[in-house]
Structure 1
Amino acid sequence: MTFDLRVLAPEQWDTLYDRLERAFGGPADAPENRAQWRKVTEYDRTLAVWDGAEMIGTAGAFSFRMTVPGGALLPMPGVTMVSVAATHRRRGVLTSLMRRQLDDFRERGEALAALTASEPAIYGRFGYGMATRQLHGVIDTTRTTFARPAGVENVRFRFVSPAGGLDACEAVYARLVPRRAGMLARQPGWERRATLDPPGERDGAGPLLCVLAEVDGEVRGYTRYATTAEWGMSGADETVRLRDVEALDPVTYAALWGFLGSIDLTSRIRFLSRPCDDPLQHLASDIRRCNLGYRDGLHLRLVDVGAALAQRTYTTPVDVVFAVEDAFCPWNSGNWRLTGDAKGAVCERTGDSAELALDVRELGTAYLGGFTLSGLAGAGLVRELRPGALAEASAAFRGGSEPWLPHGF
């Protein structure tokens, strides 16, 4: 069957969002959330597939900038709002949306694209590889304390309303973006998502709270959280539901965790997304009482292999020829020579013999430095064709810190 794929008109936005809610299930989104998503929608980057008068497929993209190893901020479309009607599965609708998007990204000169996957198994066939993870945990604060490095006594805390403290929090966040690969520079309108707090979505918790951490009157960090109201025969047993905790220096960060762990009437801190190398793991007195785990975060796709590899830096000197397979974007297939170090890189097509062979998906997985090429080789996903090439390239791709996506989209 032939379907019609076209750019969304603004007056069709409500239909698109209704289709998304039907596809993802559950109760309707809160009006505040719906209004915010509409505000940040980029209509020229939002696609819909129609079967006659019925919208049966959707996909959009947000124009983000993401930090890559070395600290550069690269344009990166964030793929979002992807759905296919249950009545039209297995008919090529998703493939047509992915095809149009990647062609558009290439035409715009965007070397990278990314998404967060509702079902990770879907997107590997379109060249997206898992590139970041997010740490989650539940810390038993009745049996865990947090280290107090010298200087924590100088950190002062102050409650502000989430809206009233937004500018101060965003100033801290903006200074942190260049420090870690995977972080996103806020686009206009996105800062408000961090303070949305629809009463119907609190699930037993109180309103969102915001605390600023200050040293000599300067805001050096912040946290946003809510607490539950849980009581039993033994008394209070409340949970701190942590949304954000960020700081510009280690002392302020330690002080913020100490604050969160000492809130009256609470017994635990629950968090869903921190970097996998978060210093929390060294601040906590008993790591076993933190109940840590992780799940996938950002899934990354190299739209232009040469440009993407040339726009990040490398921890150690590297000179290697990749044989890249890319069935969905064949312009990337072939041999590429990458030469680079901590100061910069060049990646160009070459007729030289390949030294490592892999799919573009694996390049996306390794690109931000959170997963190693040697680890992928252990799974049979990277093949070493020249002895020593794997160790050289794997060390060069590895970053100084774990990449992390700070918020979804």
Structure 2
Amino acid sequence: MTTEATGPSGLPAAELRVLRQDEWDMWYDTLIRAFGGVAESAEERELWRELTLCERSLGVWDDGVCVGTAGAFDFRLTVPGGASAPAAGVTMVGVSATHRRRGVLTSLMRRQLDDVRAWGRPLAVLTASEPEIYGRFGYAAATFGLHAEIDTARVRLSVPAGAEDVRLRYAAPAEALEACEAVYARTVPGRAGMLARRPGWERVWLLDPEGEREGASALQCVLAERDGEVTGYARFRVKPEWTDSGHDGQVRLQDLAAVDPVSEAALWRFLFGIDLTSSLKVRGRPMDEAWQHLVSDIRRCRLRVRDSLHVRLVDVGAALAARTYQAPVDVVLDVEDAFCPWNSGRLRLSGDAKGAVCEPTTDAADLALSVRELGAAYLGGVSLLSLAGAGLVRELRQGALAEAAVGFGSPAAPWLPHGF
């Protein structure tokens, strides 16, 4: 199907249509230029070519030249309760600087959300280069990542009992890939926001172009083992540095996962103690990760928080019914959704830890809110009570807000383990 992307008065409208395989290079070059024009390695470019779903990607074409891009991966997203829900992973969105303020992005978002609905996906998710852009289309930050730069020369890390029984060993990243992916897969149901990796995605973690290391080593991998079974892994780089006072190297963590607390703690202790280093840099870790309670001085960990996964409910009823609720809820929601009007109206959500139903109703509303607030609260990391304090959720029945806020919560902080 071909549609027209809106053009300004007096200018012809561009053509918006599904990407063809033989157009990928021009389409991807447009995306790269929109993000600054720095070329990727040949290996990375080829991997993204293979992972791109052309049938779920859109391009805007003006006189045969690609001027806008948008794609979608097909993911399974862990939701509160441990189940996984189908979600469109919105990605590779860019507009040529020559075609700004012509409605190209709005046209792409309009067509894409219509397509996501037609595919039967109740959720669309993305990581935002500029968060304020996507709020216009109903997306809201639902998970956050913890960044830290830990002064390991001064900060001590205690470990729980049993960590001494964990065996650690170096392994070549490619050779350990299968074991690492098995560990990752076991962790996916444990946190809302995690993505079940599709075939091919495991190769992303082996990309290691020398030009992007910023002086650090090639990728290294250490495995944690208990009773002969791999129970965790850490992949990282080391950047050597020397001053007049001696070594000042930095460990840069790429990713870490473990199936039990003692394996996780043993891996963190290893990272804290690598020879000739005095700092550990981590990015995008879970907000409630346990290492924060094991360090001797949290102030010297230089913590920062950044938004991560942005969630958009494409089918509000189906999305709310796909998750469970940590306390019983029975609430009528008056939902406003200007960009996807099929969601607007009143819905009764009834659910608990075993399941939920969400259906249209004519009953009086208990809470009034937009689809953005539902997206923010969906994974349990943003409280409806906090959103109400910002004036974004209105309580229409006394007590309904507290009931819903508790029910929507999640025991573990939701977390997106990697971008896309």
Answer yes or no: same fold by TM over 0.5: yes
The Cα of 1:27 is off from its aligned counterpart by 2.1
Are positions 1:200 and 2:211 aligned together?
yes
Q: Please, which runs of 5 or more residues in structure 1 have no aligned partner?
A: none
User: Which amino acid is 2:99 matched to?
Assistant: H
Q: Per-residue displacement from partner, 1:118-172 (whole Å, max 9, x unpaired)?
A: 0000001100011000000001011111112111111111111110000000000
- The two structures have a TM-score, normalised by structure 1, of 0.99
The Cα of 1:400 is off from its aligned counterpart by 0.7
Secondary structure, in 3 states, of the residue corresponding to 1:126? Answer: coil
Distance change in 2, residues 1:265/1:26 (3 Å): farther
Are positions 1:94 and 2:105 aligned together?
yes
Secondary structure, in 3 states, of the residue corresponding to 1:63? Answer: strand
Are positions 1:354 and 2:365 aligned together?
yes
Aligned to 1:180: 191
Aligned to 1:20: 31
Instruction: Specify which of 389, 395, 398 is matched with residue 384 of structure 1.
Output: 395
Q: Please, which runs of 5 or more residues in structure 2 have no aligned partner?
A: 1-11
The Cα of 1:187 is off from its aligned counterpart by 0.4
Are positions 1:73 and 2:84 aligned together?
yes
Secondary structure, in 3 states, of the residue corresponding to 1:331? Answer: helix
CA RMSD of aligned residues (A): 0.7
Deviates more, 1:24-33 or 1:104-113: 24-33
Aligned to 1:220: 231
- Residues 83-162 of structure 1 mapped to structure 2, 5 A cutoff: 83-162=94-173
C-alpha distance in structure 2 between counterparts of 1:364 and 1:207, whole Å: 38
C-alpha distance in structure 2 between counterparts of 1:136 and 1:26, whole Å: 27
- Residues 249-328 of structure 1 mapped to structure 2, 5 A cutoff: 249-328=260-339
Aligned residues with identical type, % of pairs: 65
User: Which amino acid is 1:278 matched to?
Assistant: E
C-alpha distance in structure 2 between counterparts of 1:221 and 1:19, whole Å: 39
C-alpha distance in structure 1 between counterparts of 2:331 and 2:373, whole Å: 16
C-alpha distance in structure 2 between counterparts of 1:166 and 1:285, whole Å: 33
Secondary structure, in 3 states, of the residue corresponding to 1:251? Answer: helix
Deviates more, 1:24-33 or 1:66-75: 24-33
Number of aligned residues? 409
Are positions 1:32 and 2:47 aligned together?
no
Runs of 4+ in structure 1 deviating by more than 4 angstroms, as ranges, are none
The Cα of 1:21 is off from its aligned counterpart by 1.2
Q: Per-residue displacement from partner, 1:213-260 (whole Å, max 9, x unpaired)?
A: 111211010000000021111111000000011111111111111111
Aligned to 2:4: none
C-alpha distance in structure 1 between counterparts of 2:266 and 2:392, whole Å: 43
User: Which amino acid is 2:45 matched to?
Assistant: R
Q: Per-residue displacement from partner, 1:33-71 (whole Å, max 9, x unpaired)?
A: 111111101010011001111111100000010000011
C-alpha distance in structure 1 between counterparts of 2:255 and 2:345, whole Å: 43
Are positions 1:369 and 2:377 aligned together?
no
C-alpha distance in structure 2 between counterparts of 1:393 and 1:188, whole Å: 37
- The two structures have a TM-score, normalised by structure 2, of 0.96
C-alpha distance in structure 2 between counterparts of 1:70 and 1:374, whole Å: 21
User: Which amino acid is 2:393 matched to?
Assistant: V
Q: Per-residue displacement from partner, 1:56-112 (whole Å, max 9, x unpaired)?
A: 110000001000001111111100000111111111111111111111111111100
C-alpha distance in structure 2 between counterparts of 1:77 and 1:321, whole Å: 27
Deviates more, 1:130-139 or 1:147-156: 147-156
